[in-house]
């Protein structure tokens, strides 16, 4: 594991928080309480939340780190492993933050083009990884914005076939299956990312977590800021885990709605990509976005190679019906039959 770690981090010690018991606490320059104990710094290791996540994921507490959204965890991974000029490799198209963070940390970034924006030839991708001498491979799986999915067996091939740190960003895994989180003890170079922003539907609290074997976790903790996860997010995160029944019900609803929306887009001839997430990417056109906007409907459009493509999130039944109705009307007005 050590061979992956940045030189600066090898010499670093994690920030130590004094957590001895006390009757009077005057060691951290905190103020006098006026709001439910929020004068205190939060638990640096978010012990209760990590314990609850450990139960849910069946991973050890020492194999988990919580963060201020998975975005913070992506940054921590780069800070731990990526020296300037080293390569981060992903697929293309994918989540734009991978490239942005890589650039911020002075790395180089290369995306392997998916065929028809959805298929990845794994053997060829593994060759690409080694040709680029990638230090880090990061894959959104299911992939944002295409909704496509790389099977677990293929991820294992990448883990076996390359010498990089392999980060699997499972932001949308609850809408799919085939998580690789159970493989973290088999592969010392595997990191799995999860978020509370999508299926758990609490994007507002900015909560994500990372699972990896202890030796990786130990190094990443060295670069983590103390108290990175605030007290309110720790509390609501626990509540979200406690509310798993509501969350699961919504996931089922979204999966049903996803098939309905997909079929409607397909019938309109818009080539929707089969989705394993809570959104669908399809071929609209330049004007569709403006048309929908005129009704106050926001969808995501793209530039570059994805010009004309639209990504629509699966919302409530009423929202989805409305959007489908408007898209249908747009194409009928444009080209009445």
Q: What are the residues binding ligand PLP (CB under 6 A)?
A: 69-71, 95, 140, 144, 169, 171, 195, 197-198, 203, 208
Nearer to ligand PLP, 196 or 219 (CB): 196
Handedness of CA 282, 285, 288, 293 (dihedral sign): positive
CB 49 within 8 A of CB 238: yes
Nearer to ligand PLP, 5 or 82 (CB): 82
The CB-of-202 to ligand PLP minimum distance in angstroms stands at: 10
244-267 and 317-334 helices, crossing angle to 10° = 10
Nearer to ligand PLP, 209 or 282 (CB): 209
Handedness of CA 118, 200, 327, 307 (dihedral sign): negative
Task: Give the end-to-end CA distance of the chain in Å, rounded to a whole number.
Answer: 63
- Cα 35 to chain centroid, rounded: 33
The CB-of-315 to ligand PLP minimum distance in angstroms stands at: 15
Nearer to ligand PLP, 69 or 272 (CB): 69
Q: Which of 76, 73, 118 has the alpha carbon at shortest distance from 93?
A: 118
The CB-of-164 to ligand PLP minimum distance in angstroms stands at: 18
DSSP three-state, residue 106: coil
Residue with smallest beta-carbon separation from ligand PLP: 69
Q: Is 310 exposed, middle or buried (0-12, 13-18, 19+ CB in 10 A)?
A: buried
The CB-of-175 to ligand PLP minimum distance in angstroms stands at: 12
The CB-of-71 to ligand PLP minimum distance in angstroms stands at: 3
Nearer to ligand PLP, 172 or 291 (CB): 172
């Amino acid at each position: 594991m050590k061979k992956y770690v940045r030189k600066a981090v090898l010499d670093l010690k994690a920030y130590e928080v004094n957590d001895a018991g006390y009757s009077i606490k005057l060691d951290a320059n905190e103020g006098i309480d006026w709001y439910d104990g929020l004068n205190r710094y939060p638990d640096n290791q978010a012990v209760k939340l990590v314990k609850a996540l450990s139960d849910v994921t069946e991973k050890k507490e020492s194999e988990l780190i919580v963060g201020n959204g998975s975005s913070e965890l992506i940054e921590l991974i780069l800070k731990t492993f990526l020296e300037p000029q080293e390569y981060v490799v992903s697929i293309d198209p994918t989540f734009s933050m991978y490239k942005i963070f890589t650039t911020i940390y002075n790395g180089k970034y290369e995306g392997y083009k998916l065929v028809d924006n959805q298929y990845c030839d794994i053997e060829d991708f593994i060759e690409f990884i080694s040709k680029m001498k990638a230090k880090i491979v990061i894959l959104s799986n299911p992939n944002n914005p295409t909704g496509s999915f790389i099977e677990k067996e293929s991820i294992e091939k990448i883990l076996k076939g390359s010498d990089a740190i392999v980060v699997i960003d499972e932001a949308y895994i609850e809408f799919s299956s085939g998580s690789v989180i159970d493989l973290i003890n088999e592969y010392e170079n595997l990191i799995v990312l999860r978020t509370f922003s999508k299926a758990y539907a609490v994007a507002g609290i900015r909560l994500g977590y990372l699972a990896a074997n202890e030796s990786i976790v130990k190094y990443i903790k060295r670069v983590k800021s103390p108290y990175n996860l605030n007290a309110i997010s720790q509390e609501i995160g626990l509540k979200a885990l406690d509310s798993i029944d509501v969350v699961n019900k919504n996931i089922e609803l979204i999966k049903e709605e996803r098939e309905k929306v997909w079929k409607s887009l397909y019938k309109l001839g818009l080539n929707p990509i089969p989705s394993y997430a809570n959104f669908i990417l399809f071929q609209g056109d330049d004007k569709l976005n403006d048309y929908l906007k005129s009704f106050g409907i926001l969808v995501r459009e793209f530039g570059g190679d994805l010009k004309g493509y639209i990504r629509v999130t699966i919302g409530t039944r009423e929202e989805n019906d409305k959007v489908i109705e408007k898209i249908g009307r747009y194409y009928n007005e444009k080209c009445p039959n």
